[in-house]
């Protein structure tokens, strides 16, 4: 073998280490970890234990205030999209000209598209105009379920080459951007 | 007898699949078995029959245990459920712990459990038994309840295996698992690149990772691009068993194999299912695989960190597996990991029918 695969193994290990470090950072920043740290610092019993109660009370009100100060009105739009039975879905911000007169759904919100695709809707056509891991990780599954995937890049978006390589390889049809 | 199995993760994976098999086997044997999952990570959606399968929080779990009047509750690797599993003080259930994890992180909770509150501990293999015995008090009794494999859905497709596969046909390989450190997915992509260099164009199916966080999913596509295999890798984030069985057969029929890069396994359900379909394995030489899989031309044990060994195993793959070897492997797995074997071990562990 001419390729030095051991160097790729080292790269894979480094990637693993980065992921683990990110997990560790996430744990350290978690609520449970931080609160646990306060409790540990408050022992043995002493002045710090006394201060802990004030800290916890302040924390409680801070979180309570944060929760009640926001009024979140859930948008009905995503639910309408997920519950729809439209045959063609455009993932992006602009409907291509050849679909202008069709009954389609359009969304550029990843969570909405994910909900729609995960709902195992009947076969349809997905026109992909923006790329992210949310849509790419579902491409093979929806194609296996009978969906047709069309890659139609948007002229005004610069795409990640890794994402582009994957969608080009796995789409049923690729429509060239007019700027290419 | 009425039994409840409880597990944290309602994910389409090895443990939940195993629970479905166990539930059916026990129900068929006249033992009422229900399931509880603390989280729904996509499992609810694929269940056609949810009678006796519950999802909910710890509070809901307590309510189910209180009302259910179970003779026993078996908790799998979810220590937060052990206490509520005991039920109300006036009607305590027998609580068993079933340990399926083998990672140090996953097993850490064993240091904090109170063994005398458990009626027993169960594991799926002798390997797991040896692993956890070091972490439990000396007098803890550990029962081995073998996993159940579904040899009906996972079977070789005879007409396809007899088809003529020749040199130059597209080889297909498969890797099954979560995109996490334990399953070693990055290594799988590196070897996908190596296999492509060896055989020309290939298809490398990656199955699993439905719950992978966005950062891992992005890392997946970036690494595939870096290795030049974006067009060879096909990521199917979740699959039903019938689809998985088809994929295993496709790989077997194309002169391919299933690649197992895991750092450790408690049993190797996916590997067992692949073998049932006649799909050869190129697998990390894990202790549990020595216990579960007999020596066979279908099983290529390698040090997964040695590319030369993986390459040699891939070169040795036949264009189609030997049918006699496939049948021998199936016979061995069915004999040792059938529903009957499980029920027999279960009754012994629960001291039923004595």
Q: How far is B224 from chain A (nearest CA, A)?
A: 8
- Picking from A6, A133, A166, the nearest residue to B214 by CB comes out as A133
Interface predicted TM-score (ipTM) of this complex, two decimals = 0.86
Contact B186 A15 (CB under 8 A): yes
Question: B301: which 2 tokens?
Answer: 């044990």
- Picking from B187, B194, B221, the nearest residue to A136 by CB comes out as B221
CA atoms within 13 A on the CB side of B215: 10
The whole-angstrom separation of Cα B69 and Cα B93 is 8
Q: At what angle do helices B185-199 and B214-226 cross, to 10 degrees?
A: 20
pLDDT in tens, B121-150: 999 999 999 888 888 876 677 999 999 999
CA B165 to chain centroid? 30
- Confidence (pLDDT) at A87: 74
Contact A1 B214 (CB under 8 A): no
Quickly count: other Cβ atoms within 10 Å of residue A115's Cβ: 16
How many CB pairs (< 8 A) connect A and B?
92
> Which candidate, B152, B219, B160, B154, places its Cα nearest to that of B185?
B219
- State the best of A162, A170, A172 to mutate against chain B, taking most chain B CBs within 10 Å: A162
Note the pTM of the prediction, 2 decimals. 0.87
Question: A157: which 2 tokens?
Answer: 């978006």
Contact A165 B226 (CB under 8 A): no
Give the SS3 label for residue B343: helix
- State the best of B41, B105, B174, B186 to mutate against chain A, taking most chain A CBs within 10 Å: B186
- Confidence (pLDDT) at A43: 80
Q: Are B39 and B8 in contact (CB under 8 A)?
A: yes
Q: Are A131 and A164 in contact (CB under 8 A)?
A: yes
CA B56 to chain centroid? 23
pLDDT in tens, B4-36: 999 999 887 788 889 999 999 999 999 999 999
Q: Per mean pLDDT, which range of A16-30, A32-46, A52-66, B210-224 is the poorest?
A: A52-66
Per-10-residue mean pLDDT, chain B, length 354? 93 86 94 94 80 91 92 94 91 92 87 86 93 79 92 77 59 95 94 96 95 94 97 94 93 95 93 96 96 96 96 93 94 95 93 62
The whole-angstrom separation of Cα A11 and Cα B105 is 24
- Confidence (pLDDT) at B162: 47
């Amino acid at each position: 073998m001419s390729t030095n695969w051991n160097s790729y193994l080292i790269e894979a290990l480094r990637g693993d280490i980065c992921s683990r470090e990110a997990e560790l950072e996430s744990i350290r920043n978690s609520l449970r970890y931080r609160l646990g740290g306060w409790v540990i610092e408050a022992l043995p019993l002493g002045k710090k234990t006394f201060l802990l109660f004030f800290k916890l009370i302040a924390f409680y009100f801070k979180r309570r205030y944060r929760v009640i100060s926001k009024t979140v009105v859930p948008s009905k739009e995503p639910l309408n999209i997920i519950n729809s039975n439209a045959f063609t879905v455009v993932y992006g911000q602009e409907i291509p000209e050849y679909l202008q007169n069709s009954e389609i759904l359009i969304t550029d919100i990843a969570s909405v598209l994910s909900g729609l695709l995960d709902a195992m809707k009947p076969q349809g056509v997905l026109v992909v105009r923006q790329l992210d891991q949310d849509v790419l990780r579902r491409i093979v599954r929806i194609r296996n379920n009978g969906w047709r995937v069309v890659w139609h890049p948007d002229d005004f978006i610069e795409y990640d080459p890794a994402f582009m390589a994957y969608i080009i390889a796995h789409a049923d049809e690729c429509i060239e951007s007019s700027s290419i | 007898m009425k039994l409840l199995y409880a597990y944290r993760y309602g994910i389409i994976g090895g443990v939940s699949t195993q629970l479905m098999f166990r539930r059916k086997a026990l129900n068929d044997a006249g033992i009422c078995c229900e399931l509880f999952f603390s989280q729904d990570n996509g499992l609810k959606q694929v269940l056609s029959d949810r009678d006796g399968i519950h999802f909910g929080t710890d509070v809901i779990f307590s309510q189910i245990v209180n009302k259910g009047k179970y003779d026993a509750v078996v908790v799998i690797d979810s220590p937060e459920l052990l206490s509520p599993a005991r039920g109300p003080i006036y009607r305590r259930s027998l609580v068993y712990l079933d340990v399926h994890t083998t990672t140090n992180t996953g097993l850490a909770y064993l240091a904090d459990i109170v063994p005398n509150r458990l009626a027993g501990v169960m594991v799926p293999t002798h390997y797991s038994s040896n692993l956890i015995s070091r972490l439990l008090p000396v007098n803890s009794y550990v029962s081995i309840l073998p996993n159940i494999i579904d040899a009906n859905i996972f079977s070789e497709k005879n007409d396809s295996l007899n088809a003529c596969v020749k040199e130059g046909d597209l080889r297909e390989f498969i890797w099954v698992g979560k995109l996490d450190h334990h399953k070693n997915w990055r290594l799988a992509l590196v070897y996908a690149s190596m296999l492509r260099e060896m055989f020309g164009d290939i298809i490398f199916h990656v199955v699993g990772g439905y719950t992978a966080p966005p950062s891992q999913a992005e890392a997946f596509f970036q690494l595939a691009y870096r290795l030049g295999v974006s067009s060879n890798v096909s990521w199917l984030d979740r699959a039903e068993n019938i689809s998985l069985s088809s994929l295993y057969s496709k790989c077997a029929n194309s002169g391919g194999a299933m690649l197992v890069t895991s750092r450790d396994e408690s049993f190797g359900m996916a590997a067992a299912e692949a073998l049932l379909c006649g799909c050869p394995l190129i697998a990390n030489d894990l202790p549990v695989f020595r216990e579960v899989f007999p020596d066979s031309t279908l099983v290529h044990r390698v040090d997964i960190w040695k590319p030369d060994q993986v390459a040699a195993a891939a070169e040795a793959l036949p264009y189609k597996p030997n049918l006699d070897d496939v049948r021998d492997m199936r016979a061995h797995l069915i004999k040792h990991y059938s529903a009957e074997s499980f029920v027999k071990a279960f009754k012994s562990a629960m001291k039923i029918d004595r």
